[in-house]
Amino acid sequence: MKTRRLGNTRLEVSAIGFGCMGLSHGYGPATDTQQAVSLIRAAVDRGVTFFDTAEVYGPYVNEEVVGAALAPVRDRVAIATKFGFTFGKDNKQQILNSRPDHIRRTVEGSLRRLRTDVIDLLYQHRVDPDVPIEDVAGTVKDLIAEGKVKHFGLSEAGVQTIRRAHAVQPVTALQSEYSLWWREPERDILPVLEELGIGFVPFSPLGRGFLTGAIGAGATFGSDDFRSTVPRFSPEALKANQALVNLLHQMAKDKGVTPAQIALAWLLAQKPWIVPIPGTTKLHRLDENLGAAAIILTEDDERRLAALLKQVQVVGNRYSAAHQARVGR
């Protein structure tokens, strides 16, 4: 597995990471713990050194799974986790909370669940409008000085927040959605990251599974699947958006690869400091995803893909109104 540096920092990780959320949270019933541990260790065996989790995934459960899986190989991997929420009744209500004292409590819990004495990359999960970002960055700066955290990250933050945070404590990476069917970061975010030397970690690089081609126009999602709330996964949107998958299939067939591999190879080709973190619960999908790191898209390939993308208009918002209100601040 090739490696990449996140921005101008010393954090060097596998070119493709592993987004662990779906093993415990967001996409239906949680994977059996032993199966999840085995899959994460299989990723390590295949050269993956970058694993992404968060306190909110479960909540708490995903960090425990990741901690159990990576404890025997802790010196070989980088673990990213996130703070930023208090949990309401039954741990289901997510309330923004990035107060400094809460950040510290969250980090102590994450360290314990992850079975480690240091977090490689600590993200603010969502910007809290009630806490100045300077206070957040300053708290993480103190945690870095104390040796409990190595690098600071933001997730779904807007340009001004990124600049203000970076002025207090250099930001190593921004994690936000970016893929062939969500290219909004290209407008304002990517130029700022390049200017400041900040890496980019795209989550949902396969469009929450849609770009794999495995989700048909008639797909339905249970109440415990996050996609059931996403306008882009409504029956009408799924039907309309099949045009994009059809084009990916066409190009993938010509190159002898899969649509998912084209989607990931395209992301890797955008900038050398981009590290996507696809998630999966299946070993064959893990192998498929990691195979994308070996695919080189030529300039002709990229021009052709750009031309194909101009033929389709993606239908549906990527978030419900409630979730949309929490991004881009």
The set of catalytic residues is: 57
Which segments of the chain does DSSP mark as H helices, in order? 33-45, 61-70, 100-113, 133-145, 159-168, 189-196, 235-255, 259-270, 283-291, 299-309, 321-324
Q: Which amino acid is at 114?
A: L
Cβ pair 78, 49 in contact under 8 A = yes
Token duo for residue 56: 């909110």
Token duo for residue 157: 């933050």
d(CA 261, CA 322): 32
Calculate the CA dihedral of residues 213, 21, 30, 224 and round it to 10 degrees: -70
d(CA 220, CA 242): 15
Cβ pair 206, 263 in contact under 8 A = yes
Strand partners of residue 123? 82, 153
Distance separating the N- and C-terminal Cα atoms of the chain: 35
Token duo for residue 6: 């996140």
Q: Give 174: exposed, middle or buried? Use CB within 10 Å, 0-12, 13-18, 19+.
A: buried
The Cβ of residue 110 has, within 10 Å, a number of other Cβ atoms equal to: 25
8-state DSSP, 150 = E
